[in-house]
Amino acid sequence: MRKENVLRKCMIGLVGVQVGLTLFAAVTTAGQKNKNSIDQKATQAVTVESKQSANEKENPKSDKKHAIKEKADVNNKDAVPTPDATVLPATQAGKMTKKTNYKKYSNTSIGWGVSMHADHTTPGGNVPKGVSLKKYQAYYVGNTKEKVMYLTFDCGYEGGYTRKILKTLKKENLKAIFFVTKPFIEENPKLVKKMKKEGHLVGNHTCTHPQLSKCNVAKIRKEINDCAKTMKKLTGYNMDAFIRPPEGVYSLRALKVIKDMGYKTILWSIAYYDYDPQNQPSVDYVVNKFKTYYHKGAIPLLHIVSKADCEALPKIIRLMHSKKYHFKTLNELD
């Protein structure tokens, strides 16, 4: 029942994101909805097709938050491995290094969305005119001149597929990043430690999953710092200095605060409706998304609660290898 209530909150949050996406779309096709189509159920999806290529815009909502918290036995010596320093920034993440007048930065909410291209060129993103994301250490693609992909997973709560995902990555000798919320860490400290032990990055997905544009500076810092502190306390590991904004909603002010805290903001360039465990796409649907929209420097958004993503992952990896692509982690961003 708790998860159902949270899901309703998530779907309500999508309405705000949809507004941002609508402003971004240059052309919108209307009147062709099919109630039985999973694409039409994804309120973020807007598809525009032409003779040469098809562009698809999607902005799936990030993971739901789970309400139940389990206590971790941090006194158990076996439970706390030696901390590492995988991707720590030059200055400790979470520590403000500058005094900034944040009021001069726009706090207008922007719902992230991309226009994916079937000709495998770099997608366009919902960025205000004249704004450079890299200026704020924010990225939605990596090296667009190299056949490379960066696997990213959002972790709001455990759905029973994470261990299988880790097993697949280990078998393929690939590393990814998992963006975790505070509740996920509290409920699954051993799983988070397993991620780190196996060489993956673990990034920040905040404590309560708010739209950061609706938070003041102090609230943004608290959301990020408390999540990182919880990870350190329960796992012994430092959180890697990357963050994914909940729901993909950001503002220039939020990006500036995040940058000043020593984090890089990670958005995405490939996405689809996969986050609802009760309404999963088919494995073929997922693989076809990658087959149609892969591109150099791609950062796909995947969810650990998705059975389809879990089962499609080996096929996605084989597909990309067949296209002569390789996989990198976000600490190799160019």
Q: What amino acid positions are annotated as catalytic residues?
A: 154, 303
The Cα–Cα gap between 316 and 291 comes to 8
How far is it, in rounded angstroms, from Cα 43 to Cα 28? 13
Q: Which of 61, 264, 249 is nearest to 150 (CA)?
A: 264
The closest alpha carbon to 44, from 17, 26, 10, 6, belongs to 17
CB atoms within 10 A of CB 321: 12
Find tokens 């997905």 and name the residue. 205
Question: Checking DSSP bridges between strand 177-180 and strand 201-204, what pairing results, if any?
Answer: parallel
DSSP string, 14-30: HHHHHHHHHHH-SS---
Residues 6+ apart with CB under 8 A from 210: 219, 223, 246
State how far the Cα of 236 lies from the Cα of 80, in Å rounded to an integer.
Answer: 5
CB hemisphere CA count around 10 (13 angstroms): 25
The Cα 264–Cα 222 span in angstroms is 17
Contact 69, 181 (CB under 8 A): no
